[in-house]
Chains A and B, each alone.
Chain A
Amino acid sequence: MLIDFETYKWDAQNCIRCTNCKWVDFIWMASLRFSKLCPSNAKYLFDSYAANGRYDIALAMAENRIEYSPKLLEEIYACTLGGACDVKCLRNVGLEPSQVLEWMRQKAVDDGQGPMPEHKAVADKISKNKNRYGLDNNSRAKWLPADVKPAEKADVLYFVGCNSSFKQKQLAQATAKLLKATGTEFMILGEQEWCCGNQLYNTGLVDQAREAAEHNLKAIKDSGAKTVIASCAECFQTLKVLYPKIMGKSTADLGFEVLHFTEYMDQQLQAGKLKFNTPVNMRVTYQDPCRLGRMSEPWTHWEGKRGKYGIFDPPKPRRKGTNGAYEPARNILNAIPGLQVEEMERRKDQAWCCGAGGGVKDAFNDLALWSAQERIEEAKETTGAEAIISACPYCKENFNDAIKAGKEKIQTYDIAEIMLQAIGSKK
């Protein structure tokens, strides 16, 4: 188990049920309709589906006062671990609920009860095939378009991710073309890229996640890359935050820089290497992916003790979501001619999760779709957008599923697809 409950027991004991973890920041709350921030609690309503109630369940688990049951596993796993509760609690009370939520999953696995069967199925595929779809990993680079040839050696490495490699290949293709359009030479790992393991870690399968981390970190090191770019928010957060966390080091000690595609392209835009010359006439709104936004701050390794008043000795840096990557995507979208970008009420660190993360899409698709439908309603009601733009293939995939299920007219795109249109590429 990676997380030591004793370190965070103080948090569980000192939750004051202020309910901040459930609500949009009170300053940013702009309506009754879109005032909630925790998809799990908003859907299931009982407090066992909110950080404040899960704190009590965690205490009961630690003290062996509660027995495992299918319902308990649902209470543990029906949450996207999107970090909203952390941001809200750290703003005021100063507790870190996500550490306890992760511990609950790790304990469930250690006790032989977790994760959910659907998670185990994905984990098995990753174990056997090194990608979450159980496909031949040797075909991982088959998404490459004929006119794009990665470099044998370059400073930049594009970490493609399972979804864009195998399912939504057009996203990887758009990313590669845009990199080329800026004159960026980049490598890929091909079959040496394994599933990043984001879901493995988030479902409590720490050992398997560590195996993925060790392999991918070695592959990146062997490539000699100085900068690793991920176009998937989950891969990005895994490389930047979870790998150092799992390996007991800090992001700064990785030996390479991790950037999300939007961060890199924003740099290129500011440097004049990226020009948008084709209008994209559309009214859109932007979905901040949780793992690109509030959960993407660098990880700083900490070891020490928890003392009176909950004080960490030595002081522990808190990740409050303040320095998430909120602006790069907005800078890019606002630079595209013809594109009318409207903000939803819940935005940036206060963004409502699309519902796909944390293993929810696999095990609780009803929650994933419901969460996406809530966001679609917000996009329609508060912005009148024709499309939701995101910067994570899992957001796009889940929005697409919800749009189909709800027979919605609104569309959804990855930001790379819009950028590709804006540079005049036909596809």
Chain B
Amino acid sequence: MSILKEAYQALESIVGPEFISDDPGVCESYRKGGYGKNRPALEGQALKPACVILPGSTEEVRQILKVCNQYKIAFIPIGCFGITTQAPKVPDVVSIDLKRMDYLEIDEKNMYATVGPGVIYAQLQAECLKRGLATEGPGCGVGATVIGNHLNAGVGPLEYRMGWAQRRMLGVEWVLPDGDIVTLGSTSQDDEDYFWGEGLGPDLRGVLRGTFGWQGGLGIVTKMATKLFPFPGQELERTGVSPETGFNLPPHLIKWINVFYPSIEEAANAMFELSKAQVGMALMTAPFTWRYFSKAESKESFHQRWHQDLPKLEKDNPHMMRIMLVGLAGTRQMEYEERVVRDVIGRVGGDLREGRPFDESWINNADAHRIMFPGGAETSMKFHFDSLDASMELAKAAAELKRKYTPPLIADYGIPGWLQMGDFGHVAFCEILVYFDPTTDPNDCYQHEVGFVESTRQDLELRAYCGLQGSYGPEPQIIGPAYGDYHLKEKELQEVFDPNGISNPPRPLDYAFGIDLDIDLSPMDKYKK
């Protein structure tokens, strides 16, 4: 143990000996967080925490943070541990695993759920579906915690109708880095009322979310309400044995329609026209890579089939647009929306085919982590929100850039990622994916990092929005000056809330550590611990 014995005892007195440990095995198992750009760099560099603590209530969280401040011990809140940013990057941290805080309550009448930080989306969705409600399983998978993902944008395919998770956030209970509790929205007036997000006075949700979430850099949200939507979940039949599990879709209420085009521009045009009609629950183009690895029996069979079929794909140049229709108000809505889709496609063209009456990916995103299947690691090279035209332009440029770094990146085809419409087409989300092996050859990691920096510079050249700021994405020292030095302001803000600098340091300013890049990092030195 490398924190003061006195501090450990103080923490132990809060949760009891059962829920704190400095055992080497326990600490070892909190050394390495999940996925994200920095995962390769973390290999061999991540530090063990000094101890791991599992609070069971907001009051315990509050007391833990008070002790951490008293002894100036850094802490890291952990929801599901799915991202690298929750792995220790400075010595002697306290990892706060929040899985015991799995409070979940659904207000069916007012259609919102209140959750604790240990609740994952799959749990929430399971409880929602049987009540005729739904949340959105995010693109990163329903193993993500609801609160963690809401604080980190929370993007998923159903945002076409539901909007981003960030905007579904209602009342919030938030323990600041110094241990004080702040409640937002209607909760600020009544501890039991999580119905409304905006409250009297300034709305601090913008501070809470930051540019792309603080990943534990601004305290711990201990309770949050999220808006729910009507959904005919009771009609879904679970079916199959692993790995072929999914929902049988009742065709009179839920249906996928796929439309094939000879160019991405035509597919995008169809999405644009469908968006104008404001029908559907999800609308996107889908990468062909995904179709291959989501069905692959094994890594070996994926690589064999993918590389065998790639030349034919490049020759034929197919592109697929998908729309999911849901009769939220019943069969008549379903029939109407399908007629609209067929009418629009009849006008703009395309080879329309009904999808399988089966869903494994979107209602309760069960196979999101297949994204790691091809190479072992995946990074979102672009995470972009803009008009459809701007997203298309960036996606095509990104595809070219990706080719430059292939190999070591795994060869891809077409738009190597997702183009998903949000807010009924008022925004287009573009996520470009790269797959690689982070462990076999260190040079692959280096090339990946260099490519990532070049991608960030490309964003700036194209005046494209660089998503994932301050996260595991673009280096803030590159994009910061172009974005009004947002990163410095973010740091100033953090210093107000976290005067001791102990809330998951060096959040929010992680940058390309561990790999020697040809860029000047010295302006950031003052923020190094």
The chain A residues found within 8 Å of chain B, CB to CB, are: 10, 13-20, 23, 25-32, 35, 45-48, 50, 52-54, 56-57, 60, 65-67, 69, 71-72, 75, 87-88, 90-94, 294, 307-313, 315-318, 320-322, 324, 326, 348-350
Q: What are 20 A-B pairs with beta-carbon distances under 8 A?
A: A13-B43, A14-B439, A16-B82, A16-B377, A17-B81, A19-B80, A26-B137, A27-B246, A30-B238, A35-B123, A47-B26, A66-B25, A69-B23, A75-B26, A92-B366, A93-B372, A311-B300, A318-B298, A322-B243, A326-B241
* A75 surroundings in chain B (CB, below 8 A): 23, 25-26
> Is the pair B31, A17 in contact by a Cβ cutoff of 8 Å?
no
Cα–Cα, bound, A201→B25 (Å): 23
| Known contacts A46-B52, A93-B369, A315-B300; A27 and B364 CB within 8 A of each other | yes
Cα–Cα, bound, A75→B23 (Å): 10
> Is the pair B242, A350 in contact by a Cβ cutoff of 8 Å?
yes
B219 within 8 A of A: no
**Which of A47, A316, A324 sits near B30, CB closer than 8 Å?**
A47
- Residues 409-456 (chain B) with a chain A CB within 8 angstroms: 410, 437-441
* B21 surroundings in chain A (CB, below 8 A): 46
B518 within 8 A of A: no
Cα–Cα, bound, A13→B26 (Å): 17
**Which of B119, B242, B437 sits near A309, CB closer than 8 Å?**
B437
CB B419 to nearest CB in A, in angstroms, measures 23
> Is the pair A91, B242 in contact by a Cβ cutoff of 8 Å?
yes
Interface of A (DSSP majority class): loop
> Is the pair B370, A46 in contact by a Cβ cutoff of 8 Å?
no
> Is the pair B440, A308 in contact by a Cβ cutoff of 8 Å?
yes
* A46 surroundings in chain B (CB, below 8 A): 21, 26, 29, 52, 54, 97
* B97 surroundings in chain A (CB, below 8 A): 45-47
B163 within 8 A of A: no
B245 within 8 A of A: yes
> Is the pair A14, B372 in contact by a Cβ cutoff of 8 Å?
yes
B143 within 8 A of A: yes
| Known contacts A10-B440, A71-B23, A90-B243; A309 and B375 CB within 8 A of each other | yes
Taking CB as reference atom, which chain B residue is nearest A89?
B369
Stretch in B99-107, B310-318, B381-389 touching the partner: B99-107
Q: A18-B143, A309-B410 are in contact. List 9 more A-B contacts (CB 8 A).
A: A19-B143, A27-B245, A30-B238, A53-B28, A71-B25, A91-B242, A308-B440, A312-B298, A321-B242
> Is the pair A30, B126 in contact by a Cβ cutoff of 8 Å?
yes
Cα–Cα, bound, A10→B410 (Å): 18
> Is the pair A309, B303 in contact by a Cβ cutoff of 8 Å?
yes
> Is the pair A32, B25 in contact by a Cβ cutoff of 8 Å?
no
Cα–Cα, bound, A14→B366 (Å): 19
Taking CB as reference atom, which chain A residue is nearest B121?
A26
Cα–Cα, bound, A294→B245 (Å): 14
Write the B82-99 contact mask toward A (1 if CB under 8 angstroms, else 0): 100000000000000101
> Is the pair A308, B242 in contact by a Cβ cutoff of 8 Å?
no
* A45 surroundings in chain B (CB, below 8 A): 19, 54, 97, 99-100
Taking CB as reference atom, which chain B residue is nearest A312?
B300
* B122 surroundings in chain A (CB, below 8 A): 23, 26, 29, 35
> Is the pair A94, B29 in contact by a Cβ cutoff of 8 Å?
no
Cα–Cα, bound, A10→B299 (Å): 13
Residues of chain B at interface, number, CB under 8 A: 73
B301 within 8 A of A: yes
Cα–Cα, bound, A350→B242 (Å): 8
B35 within 8 A of A: yes
B360 within 8 A of A: yes
| Known contacts A14-B372, A14-B376, A19-B143; A28 and B26 CB within 8 A of each other | no
> Is the pair A321, B241 in contact by a Cβ cutoff of 8 Å?
yes
**Which of A15, A26, A93, A322 sits near B373, CB closer than 8 Å?**
A93
> Is the pair A27, B238 in contact by a Cβ cutoff of 8 Å?
yes
B32 within 8 A of A: yes
* B299 surroundings in chain A (CB, below 8 A): 94, 309-312
Cα–Cα, bound, A422→B181 (Å): 63
Cα–Cα, bound, A54→B30 (Å): 10
- Residues 223-257 (chain B) with a chain A CB within 8 angstroms: 238, 240-247
Taking CB as reference atom, which chain A residue is nearest B95?
A47
* A67 surroundings in chain B (CB, below 8 A): 24
Cα–Cα, bound, A69→B21 (Å): 14
> Is the pair B24, A31 in contact by a Cβ cutoff of 8 Å?
no
B130 within 8 A of A: yes
Most buried by A among B141, B242, B297, B410: B242
**Which of A25, A56, A320 sits near B366, CB closer than 8 Å?**
A25
- Which 3 residue pairs spanning A and B have beta carbons closest together? A53-B29, A17-B34, A315-B300
| Known contacts A10-B439, A26-B364; A20 and B29 CB within 8 A of each other | no
* B120 surroundings in chain A (CB, below 8 A): 19, 23, 35
* A48 surroundings in chain B (CB, below 8 A): 23, 25-26, 28-29
> Is the pair B28, A56 in contact by a Cβ cutoff of 8 Å?
yes
* B137 surroundings in chain A (CB, below 8 A): 26
**Which of B26, B126, B301 sits near A29, CB closer than 8 Å?**
B126
Taking CB as reference atom, which chain A residue is nearest B119?
A32
* B82 surroundings in chain A (CB, below 8 A): 16-19
Taking CB as reference atom, which chain A residue is nearest B103?
A32
* B26 surroundings in chain A (CB, below 8 A): 46-48, 53, 71, 75
CB B41 to nearest CB in A, in angstroms, measures 13
CB A366 to nearest CB in B, in angstroms, measures 13
Cα–Cα, bound, A311→B303 (Å): 9
* A54 surroundings in chain B (CB, below 8 A): 29
B367 within 8 A of A: yes
Cα–Cα, bound, A94→B374 (Å): 9
Cα–Cα, bound, A349→B21 (Å): 33
* A93 surroundings in chain B (CB, below 8 A): 369-370, 372-373
B319 within 8 A of A: no
Most buried by B among A32, A60, A72, A87: A32
* B298 surroundings in chain A (CB, below 8 A): 94, 312, 315-318
**Which of A35, A69, A309 sits near B374, CB closer than 8 Å?**
A309
Cα–Cα, bound, A350→B23 (Å): 31
> Is the pair A17, B243 in contact by a Cβ cutoff of 8 Å?
no
Cα–Cα, bound, A320→B397 (Å): 39
CB B205 to nearest CB in A, in angstroms, measures 26
> Is the pair B28, A57 in contact by a Cβ cutoff of 8 Å?
yes
Cα–Cα, bound, A37→B151 (Å): 27
Cα–Cα, bound, A50→B242 (Å): 20
* A90 surroundings in chain B (CB, below 8 A): 242-243
**Which of A307, A321, A348 sits near B440, CB closer than 8 Å?**
A307
| Known contacts A17-B32, A60-B28, A92-B367; A32 and B241 CB within 8 A of each other | no
B267 within 8 A of A: no
* B373 surroundings in chain A (CB, below 8 A): 92-94
